[in-house]
């Protein structure tokens, strides 16, 4: 469904993403992992249209989307969430979600109904009228997810959704993501929380210094020495 | 066109530009350090000019000498205004600050309108009509003195910022607020100092402008656009930019008036402003954020 | 301002609209002096152009300092069509709307294409207005510095009336239409998208919103409304010149009434405008000096931004908690 081929992106002299290729099949949950600064969020932003790429190509459902405006990509059904949550501050929770729903529905009643449905899926029904700025961390993460989900996406790019969650919130979120996937949404996520990666994804790409250094099923990846090295640093492995 | 006219236009443009530079120094400092677009800059200039006017008409103080009064007065005004008012309201989006400074400018201008009425005033001193021969043309002495003082003050300010401890603190805060706080700098005080200096430059500029210009309560509008153009052209926060920008704007106004006439000539400044914002918003010497 | 509204409060909102409309209609019949009606006309006029500013500045968050430009284009458009081409001033209303929209579109497309937002956008609108002012001051087409004088010819077909009451009713209709537009905007998908853009452009894009196009659209609408104000003004005063058409004062007043009354709300500009009218009259009786009311208004702007950023209309919401869940008055 999503094909990234040889994509590179530099900022000034720094190569943030270096000849990255990856693929996500429809219905899959794929993960992109790697140490901090590996270029995961840059890659996400590029896929979603927020960065122009220097070379390579990106295809979504067979259509080329590299360097296409972000809103057009979102309208094709490829929707991202932000690592640092970006709520519409002065709107209530439900109004935030309705903005997402408006992508599919043009009138308020239908958009609201759909938004309420999404909120219920995520267990947010009690906080609908709250101002979005008053939410807790997990509330904000859920809202970020709800907004994206309300657009009826085909593929979701989830950027470190699990960061900052406690164990029970983590389990809840993992369940939610599985439900979303079962309902037909393909997912590509980046994560640091390995538990989530192992439980959710069926395929993993590992990014280090902007390059894909390994990819495969989660079990293979975890025991791959190159991956361990990337996370822990060369000296420790050599020692 | 006659070369004497061209030279005259160049000289006039430079002389005027020098003053624009001085007016804009304060604005670029305030923006560079506090990241505030001070919409009240023009109004404060207007107030200072009235100050100079009354110092002369009521106190018989020569406008150039009143620099020694106006600069400290405006510094203190700026310092306190920031400390008691603007500093308190500094949180939130930068559009809010712009609006607050807009509110201040409305407040000040209309207060001036109430007390000084709408008429323009000029001053004349003993040497107002004296001309100096420069090359093929005659330049009013007052314009020359104003230009020279403006250049001196600008350089002085630049040196102050570069070499003194206070100046270094200001630069530190401008560059990295958090870091500055961590090394023990009193950021709020430095903000107030910077705002004070910004207004102090207006006090000086007023002294230099009164002999060659006029004052009325609405004159702030005239200068605010010029000052913004200079600052945007030169680059927000850059003194070199204010210098170069000021001279360019002065020359543009001068040649604009020459080729397009009095009325249409003014358009050059606004056009520069628009073009810079559309094509190169960081200006000539501004830092890319 | 929150977009949310609960179904039950819809009927209450209609009652409010009706009540305000009835008060506005009753006003000139209760206060029949020329002076009072003129006051009413000006209050409604500023509510109208204030509302135009509010559409783009309040609802969409695009702060503009040069909105007067669209007013000026509208005023000149209808006046020039009338004086030079013999077009009926009634047709001048839609012409003014078009001129206002066109000028707004021009500024918007250039500025938004270049990615200008926030304070930079506000400043560039100022510069555009300066350019408009200087050009209109210099060309014969607009009467240059002398401006344009519309010859006095009382008659319905000339959009000139002996009785100020007629002007009052016309401006009331125009203002009511602008309020209706704001109300429509508040409930529509377009308005919701503008609110999203106002709060967070990137997040809006990520949800499929074409930020550039929506911003241009609201500026077009805002410019159109502002332009009609220009036509009305020209017909009411029978005179227009560059300093009136493109002078900073109207820009400031448009912004003031909206911000103080309540930006992004339907009745904010009207509230702000009425308050300004009361203040001007109140201060005039205290002192003959020009400017006192604006001094107070400037101070009020600062107070509002610091302490009551949603405008005075917030106070009304606090009084009526049962309606407060999201109903934007």
Q: Do B105 and C298 touch (CB under 8 A)?
A: yes
Which residues of chain C have a CB within 8 Å of the CB of A108?
A: 187-189
Q: What class does CATH assign to B3-116+135-279? A: mainly alpha
Copy the structure tokens of residue C27. 């006003």
Tell me the mean pLDDT in the region C16-41: 91
pLDDT of residue C25: 92
Residue C324 vs residue B36, higher pLDDT: B36
pLDDT of residue A239: 39
Widest pairwise Cα distance in chain A: 64
Residue A14's alpha-carbon distances to A38, A39, A43, A127, A205, in angstroms, are: 12, 11, 14, 43, 21
pLDDT in tens, chain A (239 residues): 888 888 888 888 888 888 899 999 999 999 998 888 788 889 999 999 999 999 899 999 989 998 999 999 999 999 999 988 999 988 999 999 999 999 999 899 999 999 999 999 898 998 888 899 899 888 999 999 999 999 999 999 999 988 888 889 899 999 999 999 999 999 999 988 888 888 899 999 998 888 888 888 988 888 888 887 777 765 444 43
Which residues of chain C have a CB within 8 Å of the CB of B89?
A: 302, 305-306
**pLDDT tens figures, C249-283:** 899 999 999 999 999 999 999 999 999 998 888 88
Tell me how far apart the alpha carbons of residues B236 and B239 are, in angstroms, rounded to a whole number. 9
Domain ranges of chain B: 3-116+135-279
SS3 C198: helix
pLDDT of residue C10 exceeding 60, the answer is no
Tell me how far apart the alpha carbons of residues B245 and B13 are, in angstroms, rounded to a whole number. 12
pLDDT of residue C11 exceeding 90, the answer is no
> What DSSP state is assigned to residue B84?
I
Asked if A82 and A145 count as a contact pair (C-beta separation under 8 A), the reply is: no
Tell me how far apart the alpha carbons of residues A185 and B175 are, in angstroms, rounded to a whole number. 45
Residue B80's alpha-carbon distances to B96, B103, B110, C324, in angstroms, are: 20, 17, 21, 40
Q: What length does chain B have?
A: 289
**Average pLDDT for chain C:** 88
The rounded Cα A77 to chain-centroid distance in angstroms is 13
Nearest to C120 among B96, B99, B281 (CB): B281
Min Cα–Cα distance to chain B from C14, Å:
33
**Average pLDDT for chain A:** 89
pLDDT of residue C329 exceeding 60, the answer is no
pLDDT of residue C326 exceeding 50, the answer is no
- DSSP collapsed to 3 states, A59-118: EECCEECCCCCHHHHHHHCEEECCCCCCCCCCCEHHHHHHHHHCCCCCCHHHHHHHHHHH
Tell me how far apart the alpha carbons of residues C261 and C183 are, in angstroms, rounded to a whole number. 16
**pLDDT tens figures, C94-143:** 999 999 999 999 999 999 999 998 888 999 999 999 999 999 998 888 88
Neighbours of chain C (3+ CB pairs under 8 A): A, B
pLDDT of residue B57 exceeding 80, the answer is yes
DSSP string, B35-75: ----TTHHHHHHHHHHHHHHHHHHH---TTTTHHHHHHHHH
pLDDT of residue B47 exceeding 90, the answer is yes
Neighbours of chain A (3+ CB pairs under 8 A): C
Nearest to A148 by CA among B165, C26, C204: C204
Copy the structure tokens of residue A166. 């406690």
pTM (2 decimals)?
A: 0.90
Nearest to C143 by CA among C242, C77, C227: C242
pLDDT of residue C211 exceeding 90, the answer is yes
pLDDT of residue C9: 42
Tell me the mean pLDDT in the region B172-177: 81
pLDDT of residue C319 exceeding 60, the answer is no
SS3 B133: strand
The complex's ipTM works out to 0.90
pLDDT of residue B93: 63
> What DSSP state is assigned to residue C8?
G
Asked if B278 and C110 count as a contact pair (C-beta separation under 8 A), the reply is: yes
Mutate to test the interface with A, among C206, C311, C314, C328 (most CBs of A within 10 A): C206
Residues 99-118 of C with CB under 8 A from B: 110-111, 114, 116, 118
Tell me how far apart the alpha carbons of residues C24 and C176 are, in angstroms, rounded to a whole number. 10
Nearest to C208 among A75, A90, A108 (CB): A75
| φ, ψ of residue A18 in degrees (nearest 5) | -125, 100
SS3 C88: coil
Asked if C215 and C62 count as a contact pair (C-beta separation under 8 A), the reply is: yes
The rounded Cα A80 to chain-centroid distance in angstroms is 6
Which helix (H) or strand (E) element contains residue A31? Answer: strand A29-33
The rounded Cα C316 to chain-centroid distance in angstroms is 22
**pLDDT tens figures, B92-105:** 566 788 888 999 99
Neighbours of B52 (CB within 10 A): 27
Most confident of A33-47, B186-200, C210-224: C210-224
Q: Apex CA A96: angle with CA A93 and CA A97, to 5°?
A: 95
């Amino acid at each position: 469904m999503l094909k990234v081929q040889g994509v590179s992106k530099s900022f000034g002299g720094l190569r943030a993403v270096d000849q990255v290729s990856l693929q996500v099949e429809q219905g899959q949950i794929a993960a992109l992992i790697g140490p901090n600064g590996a270029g995961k969020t840059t890659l996400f932003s590029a896929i979603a249209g927020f960065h122009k790429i220097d070379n390579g190509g990106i295809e979504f459902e067979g259509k080329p989307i590299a360097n296409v405006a972000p809103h057009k990509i979102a309208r094709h059904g490829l929707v991202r969430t932000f690592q640092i949550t970006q709520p519409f501050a002065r709107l209530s929770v439900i109004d935030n979600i309705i903005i997402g729903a408006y992508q599919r529905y043009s009138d308020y009643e239908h958009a609201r109904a759909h938004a309420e449905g999404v909120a219920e899926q995520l267990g947010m029904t009690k906080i609908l009228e709250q101002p979005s700025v008053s939410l807790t961390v997990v509330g904000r993460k859920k809202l970020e997810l709800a907004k994206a989900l309300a657009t009826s996406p085909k593929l979701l790019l989830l950027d470190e959704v699990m960061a900052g969650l406690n164990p029970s919130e983590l389990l809840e979120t993992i369940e939610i993501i599985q439900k979303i996937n079962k309902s037909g949404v393909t997912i590509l996520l980046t994560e640091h929380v390995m538990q989530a990666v192992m439980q959710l994804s069926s395929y993993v790409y590992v990014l280090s210094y902007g390059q894909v250094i390994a990819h495969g099923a989660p079990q293979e990846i975890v025991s791959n020495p190159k991956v361990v090295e990337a996370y822990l640093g060369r000296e420790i492995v050599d020692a | 066109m006659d070369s004497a006219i061209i030279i005259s236009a160049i000289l006039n443009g430079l002389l005027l530009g020098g003053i624009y530079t001085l007016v804009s120094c304060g604005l670029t400092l305030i923006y560079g350090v506090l990241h505030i677009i001070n919409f009240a800059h023009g109004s404060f200039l207007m107030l200072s000019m009235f100050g100079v006017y009354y110092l002369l008409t009521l106190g018989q103080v020569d406008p150039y000498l009143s620099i020694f009064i106006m600069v400290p007065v405006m510094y203190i005004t700026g310092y306190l205004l920031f400390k008691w008012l603007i500093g308190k309201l500094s949180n939130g989006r930068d559009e809010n600050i712009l609006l607050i400074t807009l509110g201040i400018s409305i407040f000040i201008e209309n207060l001036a309108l109430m007390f000084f009425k709408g008429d323009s005033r000029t001053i004349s001193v003993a040497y107002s009509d004296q001309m100096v021969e420069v090359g093929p043309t005659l330049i009013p002495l007052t314009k020359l003195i104003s230009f020279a003082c403006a250049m001196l003050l600008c350089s002085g300010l630049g040196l102050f910022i570069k070499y003194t401890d206070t100046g270094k603190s200001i630069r530190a805060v401008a560059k990295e607020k958090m870091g500055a706080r961590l090394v023990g700098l009193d950021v709020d005080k430095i903000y107030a100092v910077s705002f004070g200096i910004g207004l102090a430059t207006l006090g000086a500029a007023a002294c230099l402008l009164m002999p060659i210009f006029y004052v009325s309560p609405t004159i702030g509008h005239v200068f605010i656009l010029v000052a913004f153009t200079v600052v945007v052209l030169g680059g927000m926060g850059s003194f070199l930019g204010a210098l170069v920008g000021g001279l360019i704007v002065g020359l543009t106004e001068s040649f604009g008036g020459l080729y397009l006439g009095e009325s249409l000539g003014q358009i050059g400044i606004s056009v520069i402003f628009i073009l810079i914002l559309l094509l190169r918003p960081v200006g000539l010497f501004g830092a890319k954020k | 301002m929150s977009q949310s509204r609960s179904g039950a409060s819809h009927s209450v909102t209609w009652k409010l609209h009706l009540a305000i409309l009835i008060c506005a209609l009753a006003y000139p019949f209760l206060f029949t002096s020329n002076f009072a009606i003129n006051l009413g006309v000006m209050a409604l006029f500023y509510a109208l152009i204030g509302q135009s500013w509010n559409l783009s500045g309040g609802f969409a968050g695009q702060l503009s300092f040069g909105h007067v430009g669209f007013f000026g284009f509208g005023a000149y458009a209808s006046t020039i069509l009338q004086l030079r081409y013999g077009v009926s001033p009634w047709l001048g209303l839609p012409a003014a709307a078009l001129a206002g929209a066109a000028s707004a579109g021009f500024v918007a497309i250039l500025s938004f294409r270049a990615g200008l937002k926030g304070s930079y956008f506000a400043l560039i609108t100022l510069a555009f207005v300066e350019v408009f002012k200087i050009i209109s001051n210099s060309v014969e087409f607009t009467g240059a510095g002398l401006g344009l004088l519309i010859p006095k010819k009382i008659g319905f077909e000339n959009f000139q009336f002996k009785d100020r009451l007629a002007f009052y009713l016309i401006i009331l209709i125009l203002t009511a239409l602008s309020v209706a537009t704001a109300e429509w905007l508040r409930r529509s998908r377009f308005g919701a998208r503008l609110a999203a853009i106002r709060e967070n452009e990137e997040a809006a894009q990520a949800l499929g919103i074409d930020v550039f196009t929506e911003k241009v659209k609201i500026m077009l609408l805002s410019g159109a409304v502002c332009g009609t104000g220009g036509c009305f003004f020209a017909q009411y005063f029978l005179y227009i010149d560059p300093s009136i058409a493109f002078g900073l004062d109207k820009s400031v007043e448009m912004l003031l009434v909206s911000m103080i009354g309540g930006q992004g709300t339907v009745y904010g500009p009207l509230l702000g405008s009425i308050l300004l009218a009361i203040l001007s009259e109140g201060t005039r009786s205290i002192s003959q000096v020009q400017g006192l009311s604006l001094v107070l208004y400037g101070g009020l702007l600062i107070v509002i931004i610091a302490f009551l950023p949603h405008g005075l209309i917030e106070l009304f919401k606090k009084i009526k908690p049962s309606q407060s869940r999201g109903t934007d008055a």
